[in-house]
Amino acid sequence: MSKALFKSTGVVSALTLLSRILGLVRDVMLAAVFGGPKLDAFFVAQMIPNLGRRMFAEGAFSQAFIPVFTKTRQERPLEDVRDLTAVVMGTLGAVLSAITLVGCLAAPLLVWLFAPGFKHDPAQAALGASLLRWTFPYLMFISLTSMAGSILNIYGLFAIPAFTPVILNLCIIGSALIDPDSVPMLAYGVFVAGILQFLFQVPALARLRLLAWPRWGWSEPPVRRIVGLMLPVLVGSSVAQISLLLNTSLATLVGSGAVSWLNFGSRLMEFPTGIFSIAVGTVIMPSLSAQHAQRSARDFSDTLDWGLRTMLLLGVPSALGLVLLGGPLVATIFGHGRFGANDVRMTTYVVWAYGLGFMGFSLVKVLVPGFYARQETRVPVRSAVTALLVGMAASVLLFGLARWLALPAAHVVFAFSTSLTAWINSMLLLRRLKRDGVYRPGAGWGRFSLRLLAAAGAMSAFVLWQAGGLQRWLAATSFERAYRITAIVCAAAAVYFAALWVLGLRPAHFRPRAEPAA
């Protein structure tokens, strides 16, 4: 089991790494060409359909669809599986088409609601509404793409869905190259990317003989089952997106550039999250669904245990890197062209705040499949709602305090409150899985944790010795920054894994419990 999961995780991680690298290239280009403040309208226009994508596609829908589809595939003939694909695709497409139409018509209202700070700049508000009319259809296309990708993952074809996000990055990069002075061109690139991402996965579905003409089927039992599973998840996802919208809305009140600083900071945090944490969560979800269907409780727990150990092994150094190298990373990646020293500093503060919550974000990605694979949606929703309410309260209180004290970096409180939310959510999920007996930690966690902490300490000492202050990085040339950060990151990784090896950690320690390590 572990070999197959590790191989699949490697495939997803490698292709996600490619996507993240291109995403950084995209953001570096946008930061250098447009700077921070000029991109606020585009990021708001892109954020609104992205929130819908997280709610409908990657959130509620995928978590409800995978268990139902897996059960149908195991128990029914191919014709029924193909019919399920057709009816779900047709129903999902129709619902999202209606939502897209409403979103495009109500674009000015949505910008007014979600970016209240734009009211002081009518040109910015008008630009945001215009961009939103082009980016909103992305919700429909990327949701269909997510459905197709979920099916391919269930069949063990992880490479195609993992590669698909590359298309979005290429389209935005291409649109920026076509007209470097046009922010609307970026929105056109998002629209085209949505179509291309869906079409890219269609041939793979055809090879599986799962393509059929989409049809409406709201009243059919599988669709009703998926909708029933979606509703509790949708409630939790809605609260999460309301929290994000609240943070973004308040950020527009901070001043010009705050939305962009938060966006660029989150990009750096999402880089290792996408490569490691999301990859592990994506890979274990189909396995957990199959193990639950087979009533194999021990294998289910072993898969969760493997996922948590693998995520911690890769996530701990990533979190430390964000905190200890936040300034050098921002200066190296974004500190060019119109993205000046103040932009670098303000984004660095965001990276530090997100770095504190990195392990919380990562734990959630691995723990949530332990519920949804069992078609248990209420518990994770309650945990998410509890954590998000605390986070939203923290956002409002900390923002009010920052404004009262006239702090120059008030936007950082939103990243900090988001990190707090992630930690609370992850701890609630882990406690419930252990309390219900669904997850029983395997042997060797004490030794594993001590080795991890010791190796992380050695790596941190090395980074602190080599990094230096932010002013030194700002004064360096682009080549000097790139050379130094590459050397430090590679050497730090070598120190970390060498320390783990010296301390006795071996691949055998990642075997499932049925094959205990010596």
Per the domain annotation, does 335 fall within a domain?
A: yes
3-state secondary structure of 510: helix
User: What is the signed CA dihedral for 311, 356, 164, 306, rounded to 10 degrees?
Assistant: 10
Residues 71 and 290: their CA atoms lie apart, in Å, by 8
| Nearest C-alpha neighbor of 278 from the set 287, 270, 266 | 270
pLDDT of residue 377: 73
Per the domain annotation, does 515 fall within a domain?
A: no
Residues 70, 76, 77, CA angle at the centre, nearest 5°? Answer: 115
DSSP 23: H
Helix H or strand E segment including 151: helix 138-154
Per the domain annotation, does 134 fall within a domain?
A: yes
Residues 241 and 234: their CA atoms lie apart, in Å, by 10
Tens digits of residue pLDDT in 379-421: 887 888 888 889 888 888 988 888 888 777 888 888 898 889 8
User: Model confidence at 1, in pLDDT bands (50, 70, 90)?
Assistant: very low
| Secondary structure (DSSP) of 212-224 | ------TTSHHHH
Residues spanned by the domain of 341: 2-510
The alpha helices in 155-220, defined as continuous H runs, are: 159-163, 165-178, 183-207
Tens digits of residue pLDDT in 417-447: 888 988 998 999 999 999 988 898 888 888 8
Percent of the chain predicted with pLDDT > 70? 86
pTM above 0.75, yes or no: no
- Find out whether 148 and 2 touch, Cβ atoms under 8 Å: no
Write b or e for each residue in 460-479: b if 16 or more Cβ atoms lie within 10 A of its Cβ, otherwise e.
bebbeeebeebeebbebeee
- Residue length of the chain: 518
User: Structure tokens of 2?
Assistant: 């572990």
Per the domain annotation, does 518 fall within a domain?
A: no
Provide the domain count of the chain: 1
Q: What 3 state SS string does 388-452 have?
A: HHHHHHHHHHHHHHHHHCCCCCCCHHHHHHHHHHHHHHHHHHHHHHHHCCCCCCCCCHHHHHHHH
Per the domain annotation, does 467 fall within a domain?
A: yes
Q: Please give the distance of CA 517 from its chain centroid, rounded to a whole number.
A: 33
Q: Give me the chain's average pLDDT, please.
A: 81
User: Model confidence at 353, in pLDDT bands (50, 70, 90)?
Assistant: very high
Per the domain annotation, does 517 fall within a domain?
A: no
